[in-house]
Amino acid sequence: MSQPPLPPPGGWQPQPGMDAKAQAKAAKAYAKASRPWFKKKRWWLLGIIILIIIIVAASAGGGSDNGNSEGGASAACVQNYPDKQPGNDHCADTNGTVSGVGNFNVTAQPFVYKKVQFIGKTLCSQVSMYNKTNDSQDYNVLDFKVQTPSGDVATLSSVGIGGTLDSGTMIAGGTKRGKICTDYKGPGQYVLIFKPGLISDNRGIWLFDVKSH
């Protein structure tokens, strides 16, 4: 049983010579096209997409902040050294602390020389990391590198040395202490580098002069 034709909406007039079925179809199409913009499906879809973008952007921004002051208290490096990166490098203050890089305040002590029997000569710095954010944060000894006086970025060493920093997760306000060690490569200026994560180019820098042994 066929349904009666829809009444023509305001503003639409049936065309002469159209049968009832064609008039009903045309009236329905006109009514659909004449709906307010907020009732049209494509506007709802666009609104949902925009809302998703806003939520994702807000989440990303909130996760990268955590109360940090990226590039904050630590000073730009004045001294020259191989591979110096102005604008990215933040040198330690007079207390040996870098506070403007990543999620941690990091304090490093000058390198201490030690000769390990049957292994070789080693340099170690005692490092303390404080989680300055309001969330738990991952830390990793591999975020640290040591640049030798010749400009080579040496690999870290834990052979024969106890108490190295290692890696793990630190609670908000927590502190982790450990050693950063590398092989002794002769006297001169060693650069301890802290570069957390893969997104930021900021680096914490400590310059240590090591005597001949």
Q: For the chain of 213 residues, list the mean pLDDT of each consecutive stretch of 10.
A: 52 60 64 58 68 62 39 71 92 92 95 84 94 94 92 74 83 94 93 88 94 89
Domain assignment of residue 21, yes or no = no
pLDDT for res 72: 44
Alpha helices in the chain (DSSP H): 20-33, 41-65
pLDDT for res 97: 96
Domain assignment of residue 45, yes or no = no
Number of domains in the chain: 1
Domain assignment of residue 51, yes or no = no
Domain assignment of residue 59, yes or no = no
State the Cα angle at 112 between 107 and 117, rounded to 5°. 135
pLDDT for res 154: 79
Domain assignment of residue 117, yes or no = yes
Domain assignment of residue 61, yes or no = no
Quick check: helix, strand or coil at residue 116?
A: strand
- Residue range of the domain that includes 102: 75-210
Task: Give the CA dihedral 194, 128, 178, 126, nearest 10 degrees.
Answer: 80
Prediction pTM value: 0.64
Q: What is the CATH number of the domain that holds 162?
A: 2.60.40.1240
pLDDT for res 18: 60
- Provide the sign of the torsion angle of the four alpha carbons 190, 195, 201, 206, taken in this order: negative
Domain assignment of residue 132, yes or no = yes
Domain assignment of residue 112, yes or no = yes
pLDDT for res 5: 53
